[in-house]
Amino acid sequence: MSVRTLPLLFLNLGGEMLYILDQRLRAQNIPGDKAHKDEWTEVDRKRVLNDIISTMFNRKFMEELFKPQELYSKKALRTVYDRLAHASIMRLNQASMDKLYDLMTMAFKYQVLLCPRPKDVLLVTFNHLDTIKGFIQDSPTILHQVEETFRQLTETYGGLSAGEFQLIRQTLLSFFQDLHIRVSIFLKDRVQNSNGRFVLPVSGPVPWGTEVPGLIRMFNNKGKEVKKVEFKHGGHYVTAPKEGSFELCGDRVLKLGTNMYSINRPVETHMSGASKNLASRTQESIVPNPLAKEELNLLARLMGGMEIKKASGPEPGFRLNLFTTDEEEEQAALTRPEELSYEVINIQATQDQQRHKELARIMGEFEVTEQPRPSTSKGDDLLAMMDEL
């Protein structure tokens, strides 16, 4: 397992989350002069994206994220995204948050599977960050945070060997193993089968620096080529036109990681039969790793220490539904396997002054101090632990 995988996993999943939220906010957008109290406007959409991106790219948070460390468990990482998604005035109920996380994970899994070279996962990350920069063109302070993360990525991963990138890719695929959730976009584009498994293409450009398959060269013991044999590979491959740019600004060439929701179309998720059968194994895999507790504590503190509370009735603020109708959302909550659902998280939306003060605190310079904690057993529930923050 690579100890340099976490930043790539976090940034790419976060990018997919922002794509989905932006698409749903646009779909539910209502002109400001016609909007009612609980309806979204274009100003609200920009405010939500700015708040989440500002929290996601907080400088001290990024510094901790880029330290060499093991991946968190699925449940621990999911908890971080719960907090991140609720870093603004937006509220998601359990069913919508489950769907959001399903879409995020399956999209990035598809991108990792289709990367021509292991190193290209860095280009996928740059594609996500390029699009995120487009969300915040009117916010120079947040834009600077994202560009600083670009520089950290280049510094951290620019000198890695092909073998180290292969280990990173293997670590990512291990994280996504046994996740076979059907997504309507993938099914309609015929890149995913009805069992939730992806279809790998047998056409298109080959990895940069390699040749189109179809020729075997044989050499003697002196290294001289003595024979050529051609064979039919059964695909439709072409030579890569050029290598994608790893600079701050440039042509990435690779399209993986760009916003597939830019064309407005509904996206549904369905648990495949294989995923339902694997629920018992998944339950084991999402048990928090005790070794990640302190790291998660620090990440949660850096992301604002937002309160996790049980739903206790209607709350002020804006509610975002990732389903077409409320009925679909309720049905999804009833049919989802219990082992794959998580604690309901509702965030109390605050007034503008209080919220901006909180965001200013997150973005400002502050010291992270360890609070003395009583000794706890390794089996402590993760969500209960985060309630103490």
Give the tokens for residue 357.
């003060």
**Helices 162-176, 6-27: crossing angle, 10 deg rounding:** 50
Give the span between the Cα atoms of 44 and 141, in whole angstroms. Answer: 19
Mark out the alpha helices in the chain (DSSP H runs). Answer: 6-27, 42-56, 59-65, 74-85, 94-114, 120-135, 140-157, 162-176, 184-188, 273-277, 279-285, 293-302, 326-335, 352-363, 382-387
Mean pLDDT of 206-229: 92
pLDDT tens, 290-341? 444 454 454 454 444 333 333 344 444 556 656 666 666 566 656 665 555 5
pLDDT tens, 339-384? 555 544 343 334 445 545 544 554 454 444 444 444 443 333 434 4
Tell me if residue 201 falls in helix, strand or coil. coil
Residue 202, Cβ neighbours under 10 Å: how many?
10
The domain segmentation of the chain, as residue ranges, is 5-202+244-264+318-366
Give the tokens for residue 366.
């502050």
pLDDT tens, 4-53? 999 999 999 999 999 999 988 888 765 555 455 556 678 888 889 999 99
DSSP labels, 299-368:
HHHHTT-PPP----S--SSEE--SSSSHHHHHHHHHHS-GGG-------PPPPHHHHHHHHHHHHS----
